[in-house]
């Protein structure tokens, strides 16, 4: 537990450190190119943990609280500047230079996203072939004629080599009422087919939005599709020490054949039997080392969905996917670049659309996430492999870039708004208006941060 928490914290610090460093480096690099003196480059806030100064007088700081960072430049608005140094101050630079410096941070985040995705495509992506395992009755997929065994090869003309791409395409249509064009290749569950691709029209209405305005968490299930998974036999994996399974004499590798005389077809059917039998003795027939044994097993009791449910403290022995159902998409450096650019554009447009749909009520503000959720997802993505971490890093980097470009005073986008007005008017926005905007912006941003933290805690507890 402690090791897992430390790993999650480390993943969070690494992820946020990369994002903040790249964002602030964008401001820093362009500021120096524009002749602005940079006084401090800080990653994190609060007490300094590590500090050094370069030959140009810039102080570099690694601070205690890793929730952001900043670049401090010479600026007459923040303190007196000697006349001979005025040409190096930020506020003395032409408005186009100031626009370039402020925009450089978010632009650096988009460049980071492209770089992370470029690395991911070169390293290779392992993905499961998106084959339909089950179609729910009367669902949009069923009405459109999709059946188990169909492989989904495209949605609205976009290739979908895996379930992740399918989910991304479905999420991009939140709130829509129209027909989705779904390309499918007919086949048999668990076996790939070379059949011709056919187009199916799947009707959606107020897609992924319920009466309360909250987005549906599982777009595939809302479409009426359950992905194909290989059959999982009822073979025990790891046992919990002092659990009911271990107390009854069960061992890892045991294959459950029957319970109370009822044949056990697979792992899921046995789970249902156990959950339906809290604190009731069961006669379990099993195979172990070529022999058939019978043991008495009494599941423990815990609450599940407000009702007592049986559990025995045992996991399933993992089943591998057939080789033909696993794809590895890997590209050379030249071919990977356009795919990285395209994926970055897709993530950017989806982020912008999601924010807009949140404003108009098509997506609930409950979908906002804060540092706790980011930390958990960062830890999980780091554990699950380089490709998942790189993808998560690119998603966060795009989100940070988009959010910082919003025209809200205190964010980069707010400063850009003031400078663009200055460019059109020929003179700066008054200090009074800027200060009023700053107060409104700080209030708004703090409110959003508190809402995101509240959502985090709600999910946690």
Do residues 155 and 170 make contact, with C-beta atoms less than 8 angstroms apart?
A: yes
**CA pair distance 95, 127, nearest whole angstrom:** 48
Nearest to 132 by CA among 106, 160, 103, 104: 160
**CA pair distance 390, 18, nearest whole angstrom:** 11
Residue 226 catalytic?
no
Do residues 300 and 308 make contact, with C-beta atoms less than 8 angstroms apart?
A: no
The two tokens of residue 16 are: 């946020």
Which secondary structure element, helix H or strand E, spans residue 293, and what is its range?
strand 291-297
Q: Find tokens 């499918």 and name the residue.
A: 184
The torsion angle over the Cα atoms of residues 192, 194, 198 and 201, rounded to 10 degrees, is 10
Could you count the other beta carbons within 10 Å of the beta carbon of residue 53? Answer: 11
Catalytic entry in 24, 88, 151, 222 = 24
Do residues 282 and 299 make contact, with C-beta atoms less than 8 angstroms apart?
A: yes
Give the E-state strand segments of 3-146 in sequence order. 38-53, 59-73, 125-128, 132-135
| Residue 417, beta-bridge partner list | none
For residue 306, report the phi and psi dihedrals to the nearest 5 degrees.
Answer: 80, 5
Q: Any idea which residues carry the catalytic annotation?
A: 24
């Amino acid at each position: 537990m402690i090791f897992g928490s430390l790993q999650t914290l480390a993943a969070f610090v690494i992820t946020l450190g990369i994002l903040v460093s790249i964002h602030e480096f964008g401001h820093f690099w362009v500021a120096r190119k524009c002749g602005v003196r940079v006084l401090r480059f800080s990653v994190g806030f609060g007490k300094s943990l590590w500090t050094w100064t370069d030959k140009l007088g810039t102080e570099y700081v690694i601070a205690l609280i890793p929730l952001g960072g900043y670049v401090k430049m010479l600026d007459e608005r923040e303190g007196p500047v000697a006349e001979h140094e005025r040409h190096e101050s930020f506020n003395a630079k032409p408005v186009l230079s100031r626009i370039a410096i402020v925009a450089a941070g978010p632009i650096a985040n988009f460049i980071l996203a492209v770089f992370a995705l470029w690395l991911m495509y070169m390293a290779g992506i392992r993905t499961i072939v998106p084959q339909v395992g089950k179609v729910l009755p009367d669902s949009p997929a069923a009405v459109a004629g999709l059946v188990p065994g169909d492989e989904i090869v495209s949605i609205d003309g976009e290739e979908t080599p895996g379930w992740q791409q399918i989910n991304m395409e479905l999420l991009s249509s939140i709130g829509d009422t129209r027909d989705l064009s779904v390309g499918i290749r007919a086949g048999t569950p668990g076996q790939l087919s070379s059949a011709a691709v056919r187009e199916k029209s799947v009707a959606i209405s107020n897609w992924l939005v319920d009466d309360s305005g909250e987005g549906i968490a599982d777009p595939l299930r809302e479409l009426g599709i359950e992905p194909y998974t290989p059959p999982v036999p009822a073979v025990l994996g790891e046992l919990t020490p002092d659990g009911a399974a271990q107390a009854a004499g069960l061992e890892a590798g045991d294959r459950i054949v029957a319970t109370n005389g009822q044949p056990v077809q697979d792992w899921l059917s046995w789970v249902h039997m156990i959950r339906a039998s809290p604190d009731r003795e069961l006669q379990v027939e099993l195979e172990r080392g070529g022999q058939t044994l019978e043991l008495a097993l009494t599941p423990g009791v815990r609450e599940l969905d407000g009702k007592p449910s049986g559990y025995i403290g045992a996991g399933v022995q993992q089943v591998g996917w057939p080789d033909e159902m696993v794809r590895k998409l890997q590209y050379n450096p030249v071919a990977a670049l356009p795919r990285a650019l395209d994926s970055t554009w897709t993530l950017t447009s989806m982020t912008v659309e999601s924010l807009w749909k949140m404003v108009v009520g098509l997506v609930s503000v409950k979908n906002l996430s804060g540092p706790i959720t980011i930390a958990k997802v960062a830890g999980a993505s780091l554990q699950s492999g380089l490709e998942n971490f790189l993808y998560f890093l690119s998603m966060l980097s795009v989100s940070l870039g988009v959010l910082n470009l919003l025209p809200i005073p205190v964010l980069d986008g707010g400063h850009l708004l003031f400078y663009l007005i200055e460019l059109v008017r020929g003179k700066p926005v008054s200090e009074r208006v800027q200060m009023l905007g700053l107060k409104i912006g700080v209030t708004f941003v703090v409110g959003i941060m508190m809402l995101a933290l509240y959502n985090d805690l709600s999910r946690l507890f």
